[in-house]
Structures are given as C-alpha cells and as structure tokens.
Chain A
Amino acid sequence: MLEIKNVSKTFNAGTINEKKALNQLNLKLENEDFVTVIGGNGAGKSTMLNAITGVFRIDSGEVTVDGQNITNLPEYKRAKYIGRVFQDPMMGTAADMWVEENLSIAESRGKHRTIKWAITKKDRERFRELLTQLDLGLENRLSTKMGLLSGGQRQAITLLMAAMQKPKLLLLDEHTAALDPATASKVLALTDRIVAENHLTAIMITHNMKDAIQHGNRLIMMNQGKIIYDVSGEEKAKLTKADLMAKFAEIAGENQESDRMLLN
C-alpha cells in the first residue's frame, strides 16, 4: 500500500541549526495495516508523515502509494489518497465556517470542485446521519461555526472528514494529545471504528505507550530519523509497556553514548 524508500530530509542544511530529520528511512505498509508510531521528540515521526503528505519536498528517496510514485506530487494532489488528522484541533477544520460546509469541503476531496451549489438538502441529510453515528450530539449543529465546538468534537469531525472519501491512507499525528483523557479515549475508540469499518490503512503517532500497544496491528519506534524497532502480529499483541520502556532506555543510552563520542 505505502512504501517509503530511502527517504532523507535535512532541515536548515549547511547552517548551525542543521537537523537531519529523516535518515534513509524505509517503511512498507500492507493493505489494512494499522501502525502505531512512538519515539522521542525530534525522532522524525511528524516529519515522516509530512514527507508522505508532501508538506515539503524530500531531499532523496521515493514515496509510493498503491504502486503510484507520489514523490513529486504537490500536497493538494496527494490529498486524494490521504486523509489527515492533526495534533491541534484547530488545524483540521475551518473554524469560521459551518460544520456542514467543512463536511462538504471534505466530500469534494480528490474530486473536481465545480460551480454546482455545494450543499443540497440531500447532502444535509447524509451529513446529519454521519454526525449521528459520532454520538456526540452534533447532528443538529450543521449550521454551527466549527470554532464554537469543543476540541474533542472538532477532532471527531476531522476524523470523519479524513475518512469521508475513503482515503488509501489515514495519517493521525498525535490526534488525541490535546484532549482530556475521557475525550481522548472516545476519539480513539472512534478511530478504531472508522479504520475498521472503512478497511483503511493507517499510521498513528502517539506519545502514549498504552495506546500504541492497544491499537493497531503493528508498532514502530523511531529514533534519529530511522525506524529502530518494528513489531507486528503475535509479537506486538504480547508487547508490554515495560518492554517499550526498556527499549526507550536503551536508545537514550545510545544517544548519550554518541553524544559523548562527539564531545571527545
């Protein structure tokens, strides 16, 4: 489904702030894989997602989705294949526009946007049905400004929007990090449901190790722009938080080691 081949990206190359964010990264996802991604700050998790979605051009390597090379496609053209939910609930929707307008925008993703009237009565009914399924009491708020909803409600709608055109790939960048624990678990449950119902291939970044273990069928850990740990299936099912903590400690030691070598 998704293949990342030898992808590298260095920010601020040639300056004192040079940062090698992705270092010859390789990742291959099968159909309907649901991968959780963990790793420390600056490990390259978000950069990996941004490389897939085309927020910036990569320095080298190749990204293919479903066999199609998308490395040189602009961000808005890749959107046809990719649904995204961001960490910041403000990022995924247009705050000054109505709920139904946001949904309509998502519904035209990957299609030609015509000068047909965007929201018909029929659309409105379908939107209401979709919102009813969220079970957040949003079905009667089609003409509410998005910005007036709570963070959890906005993330739920962003999820809905991301899945609307059944993308080949769903990318979740710590999409529950800004929510309170109760709302976060609600949104996570909804994530599982949407991924399962639509048979989506998904990548979810999280800082919560419990979530990383509980969700998905595969887990990868990143460090310094590379994947350093990759478990799936049976092995992942048996994974415990303690295992991950040990792995983290191991990396921390290595990082310190290389720092020491540099200093010497």
Chain B
Amino acid sequence: METLLTWIGTLPGAIGQGFVWGIMALGLYITFKILDVADLTVDGSICTGAAVCTMLILSGVNVIVAMIVAFFAGALAGLVTGILHTIMGIPAILAGILTQLMLWSVNLLIMSGKANQPLVGFQFRDKVLISTGTNNIVKTLIILGIIILMLICALYWFFGTQFGISLRSTGNNRSMSRAQGINTSFTTVFGLALSNGIVALAGSLLAQQQGAADINMGRGAIVIGLAAVIVGEAIISKISSNFFLKLFSVIVGAIIYWIVFQTVIFLGLPSEYLKMLSALVVAIFLGVPYIKKQWFSKKAVLKKNA
C-alpha cells in the first residue's frame, strides 16, 4: 500500500515531463509523420532552445519573450537543415546530423562556453514560467496544459489551410504535389523550420523544468520524441483518424512514456540502462508491426499453397 502511494506520488512529475516532451514530440510529428523526413536536427535544436531561453532570462529578459526568441532560434536551425537537404541535395538524415553537430558549437557559444548554465537560485524564481521538478506542480501542469492546447489548436488550424495541406501532400506524395504546383522544396524547408521551432520551444520549457541548460540535454531527444509519437499513434489510430486526436495522441504518448520510465526507475532499474530502454522501446514499436506483417503474409502464402 505504501509503495503504491509512493508510486502514485511520482505520477505528477512524470506527467509534467510528459507535457514538456509532448510539445517536443509535436514538433517531431511534423517532420516524421507529416513530411515523412527523419530529422535528427532536434537533438541539437532542443538544446538551442534551452540555451537561448536560459541566457536571455539570466540577462533579465522576460520569460515569454525569451521563449519566443528560442522558438525562432530553433526554426533557424531547421532552416539550415532544410537548405542542406533541398538546395544542396544532402539526404535528410545526414543534413540533420550535420546541423546537429554545428549546433553543438553554436549552443556552447550561446552558453558563453560553459557546458551547464544553471537557472535556479532565489533571484530567478519569479522570472520563470514553470517551476523546477515537482515544486508548485499543479501550477506547472496548468500552464503547460494551456500551452499544449494552444499549440495543438494552432497546428490543427494550420494544417487545414491551403498552405498547410500542401505541406501534408508534400510528405504524402512528392511527385503528385509538384504536378499540382506545390514547391515541395519550400514546403519541406518550412516544415523543418516549424518543427525545430516547436522543439526549441520545448527546450526552453525543459530548461525551466530542470533548472538549467545543459549541453548534453538533447542527446537521444529524437528517440524520446519518436517513442511519444509512435506510442500515441498505437493507441489512437485504432479509435479515430481525426487529425486533432492524432496531435493529441502525441501528448498522451509522451505521458505514457514518462510514466513507464518513472515506474521502471521506481522499481529499481539502475539509471545507466535508461537510454538503452528508450531505444529498445522505439525499436520494438517500429519493428513489431513490420515483422507481424511479414509473418502473417508468409502464413497466408503457406496456407494458400497447402
């Protein structure tokens, strides 16, 4: 009973983590699901968002302004990947890796050459939007909830506009899109910029939640984001194909991911194994549907021949 209560006590923190990473995963959803591009820029741009936001808050800039600047800094990173990919013809994955590597230097420069810039301390308590860890968790969850709702509504609206559906068709069928007069290079670059902007926005929230910007905070971010996207999809795709719900499912996926994560830690798994666990979860979720399909079609063929 007592352990159950302790476990329940970890939930608000997990949900808070899920909210922030859910925002990051919404950004990833745009590239991975809508544009059909695997964009590794995010491992760098989430840190860029954190770094920009932290440094601006430290220099006395309003937190909302700092977060908006962080968004555009991330968008700029996406723009670089987009240009490497479309104008210079570099495969998307490699373009993302190149930008990510560039961002390592850029992020260090932003953080004045320090690998870690703490944001905690008395004088900044009132200057941030959300509190660190589980301090003031209810307020944090409400603020994050509002941001998420606004973001999902904005994305739902955007992808229903004439320009927005041209982005979706770009990911769905590039040659058809060009035949219908869509500049697919432009839509791809725009999508990458928007995606990384959102990821950087999540980074700015992550810095506030963790109380610091750290040069290593983006390592493996794409895997956590992907986990949220595919776990969410696995749940919602069976219920509905509504686009609003699909966006919502990404947040649900992120929350589930963090609850599982916290539970595993709670059960005593040493933290060294956590990244391994994240990667395995993604590998299994991506791999199982494929293997299932292969196996079932093989069985169908055998049956037919029997």
- A131 and B111 alpha carbons, distance in the complex (Å): 58
- A42 and B145 alpha carbons, distance in the complex (Å): 59
Is A95 interfacial (CB-CB < 8 Å)? yes
- A97 and B73 alpha carbons, distance in the complex (Å): 32
Interface hits, A6-45 → B, CB 8 Å:
none
Give the most central of A76, A101, A106, A109: most B CB within 10 Å: A76
What chain A residues lie within 8 Å of B180 (beta carbons)? 79, 105-106, 108-109, 161
Is B158 interfacial (CB-CB < 8 Å)? yes
**Beta-carbon nearest neighbor of B34 in chain A:** A96
What chain A residues lie within 8 Å of B172 (beta carbons)? 94-97
Is B295 interfacial (CB-CB < 8 Å)? no
What chain A residues lie within 8 Å of B177 (beta carbons)? 76, 94, 105
Q: Of B157, B173, B183, B241, which is within 8 A of A145 by CB?
A: B241
Would you call the interface of chain B mostly helix, strand, loop, or mixed?
A: helix
A121 to chain B, nearest CB (A): 14
Segment at the interface with A among B124-132, B162-170, B201-209: B162-170
Segment at the interface with B among A112-120, A225-233, A240-248: A112-120
A174 to chain B, nearest CB (A): 16
What chain A residues lie within 8 Å of B184 (beta carbons)? 76
> If the complex has contacts A101-B165, A113-B163, A116-B161, are A76 and B173 also in contact, measured as CB distance less than 8 A?
no
Is B153 interfacial (CB-CB < 8 Å)? no
A250 to chain B, nearest CB (A): 36
| Number of cross-chain contacts by CB at 8 Å | 84
Interchain CB contact under 8 A, B179 and A105? no
Give the most central of B164, B182, B184: most A CB within 10 Å: B182
Would you call the interface of chain A mostly helix, strand, loop, or mixed?
A: loop
B184 to chain A, nearest CB (A): 7
Interchain CB contact under 8 A, B163 and A94? no
Interchain CB contact under 8 A, B169 and A97? yes
6 A-B pairs with the lowest CB-CB distances in the bound complex, closest first: A79-B181, A94-B172, A109-B181, A113-B162, A94-B169, A115-B161
Is A77 interfacial (CB-CB < 8 Å)? yes
Give the most central of B168, B176, B241: most A CB within 10 Å: B176
The contact size tier of chain A is: 20 to 34
- A114 and B241 alpha carbons, distance in the complex (Å): 25
Is B297 interfacial (CB-CB < 8 Å)? no
- A76 and B164 alpha carbons, distance in the complex (Å): 17
On A, residues with C-beta under 8 Å from B are: 53, 74-77, 79-80, 82, 84, 91-97, 101-102, 104-106, 108-110, 113-119, 145, 161
Q: Of A74, A92, A114, A145, which is within 8 A of B179 by CB?
A: A92
What chain A residues lie within 8 Å of B169 (beta carbons)? 94, 97, 101-102, 105
Interchain CB contact under 8 A, A91 and B173? yes
Give the most central of B172, B178, B180, B183: most A CB within 10 Å: B180
On B, residues with C-beta under 8 Å from A are: 157-158, 160-166, 168-169, 172-173, 175-184, 241
New A-B contacts (15) at CB < 8 Å, excluding given A79-B178, A84-B179: A75-B179, A76-B178, A76-B183, A79-B180, A79-B181, A80-B181, A97-B165, A102-B169, A105-B166, A105-B177, A108-B166, A109-B181, A113-B182, A118-B160, A145-B241
Interchain CB contact under 8 A, B162 and A118? yes
- A101 and B166 alpha carbons, distance in the complex (Å): 9
**Beta-carbon nearest neighbor of A164 in chain B:** B180
- A156 and B172 alpha carbons, distance in the complex (Å): 19
What chain A residues lie within 8 Å of B158 (beta carbons)? 115
B171 to chain A, nearest CB (A): 9
**Beta-carbon nearest neighbor of A92 in chain B:** B176
A3 to chain B, nearest CB (A): 21
Interchain CB contact under 8 A, B176 and A114? no
B289 to chain A, nearest CB (A): 16
What chain A residues lie within 8 Å of B179 (beta carbons)? 53, 75, 79, 82, 84, 92
- A113 and B177 alpha carbons, distance in the complex (Å): 13
CB-defined A-B contacts under 8 Å, sample of 18 = A76-B178, A76-B183, A79-B179, A91-B175, A91-B176, A94-B173, A96-B172, A97-B169, A104-B162, A108-B166, A108-B181, A113-B166, A115-B161, A115-B162, A117-B161, A118-B162, A118-B165, A145-B241
> If the complex has contacts A76-B184, A106-B180, are A95 and B241 also in contact, measured as CB distance less than 8 A?
no
**Beta-carbon nearest neighbor of A54 in chain B:** B178
A16 to chain B, nearest CB (A): 24
A79 to chain B, nearest CB (A): 3
What chain A residues lie within 8 Å of B166 (beta carbons)? 105, 108, 113
Give the most central of B158, B164, B172: most A CB within 10 Å: B172
B113 to chain A, nearest CB (A): 41
What chain B residues lie within 8 Å of A82 (beta carbons)? 179
Interchain CB contact under 8 A, A114 and B162? yes
Interchain CB contact under 8 A, A114 and B165? no
- A104 and B158 alpha carbons, distance in the complex (Å): 15
> If the complex has contacts A75-B178, A76-B183, A105-B182, are A119 and B160 also in contact, measured as CB distance less than 8 A?
yes
What chain B residues lie within 8 Å of A161 (beta carbons)? 180
Q: Of A53, A79, A106, A118, which is within 8 A of B161 by CB?
A: A118
Interchain CB contact under 8 A, B176 and A117? no
